[in-house]
Amino acid sequence: MCHGDATAAVGRDTAGSVMAYVPPDRHLLRAKDLADARYFDPIGVEDMAAAAGLSRAHFSRTFKAAFGESPRAYLLTRRLERAAALLRTTDRSVADICLSVGWQSIGSFTTSFTRMFGTSPAAYRAAHPPAAAHAMVPWCVARVYGRPERRTFREDKGNGQA
């Protein structure tokens, strides 16, 4: 297939007719990148629309058409995914995680988290190993403890021949 071949990105819509894939416009990707990078800030659809250079209503329509979900739903999903990662990998309190991912209310955070993951944040954390089990060991420490003790080249044969 040629690099410029237009048939490479063809799909079918719900009616079964052939439809060409159109990548999202760069301004929509800028708004999506803003949501990914600043999920912890109190940003909203207005801020995402401003990053895209569009009105709020037009931005919401084009974002949903391009990505399949509203900008608000996308931002909330990013925040909840980050909260789930923090619950799995840290020992921070649920309230601290709630505030650090951009939620203002612990109650609405817990409700949204339960709706998305099917369990409360505390139960989600309890279902995963404690964060201490994921502690990162510096490579220099792992290297020292990973070496065999008092062995040199050819001594591991066990028969004493060198």
Q: Judging by DSSP bridges, how do beta strands 18-20 and 10-12 pair with one another? A: antiparallel
Classify residue 64: in a domain, yes or no.
yes
d(CA 26, CA 5): 22
Classify residue 18: in a domain, yes or no.
no
Classify residue 17: in a domain, yes or no.
no
**Helix (H, G, I), strand (E, B), or coil: what is residue 21?**
coil
pLDDT band at 85 (very low <50, low <70, confident <90, very high): very high
Tell me the two tokens of residue 53.
């250079």
Q: What is the CATH number of the domain that holds 53?
A: 1.10.10.60
Classify residue 42: in a domain, yes or no.
yes
pLDDT digits (tens, 9 = 90+) for 70-80: 999 999 999 99
Q: Is the pLDDT of residue 68 over 70?
A: yes
Least confident of 21-35, 91-105, 112-126, 130-144: 130-144
Lookup result for tokens 């009616």: 15
Rounded to two decimals, what is the model's pTM? Answer: 0.66
pLDDT recorded at residue 6: 41
Q: Which uninterrupted H or E stretch holds 29?
A: helix 26-37
pLDDT digits (tens, 9 = 90+) for 30-60: 999 999 898 888 889 999 999 999 999 999 9
pLDDT recorded at residue 130: 75
Which range marks the domain in which residue 126 is found? 23-134
Question: Among 100, 95, 89, which Cα is nearest to 121's?
Answer: 95
First to last CA, the chain: 59
The residue with greater pLDDT, 2 or 150, is 150
d(CA 132, CA 89): 8
d(CA 11, CA 28): 21
Task: Report the domain count for the chain.
Answer: 1
Classify residue 73: in a domain, yes or no.
yes
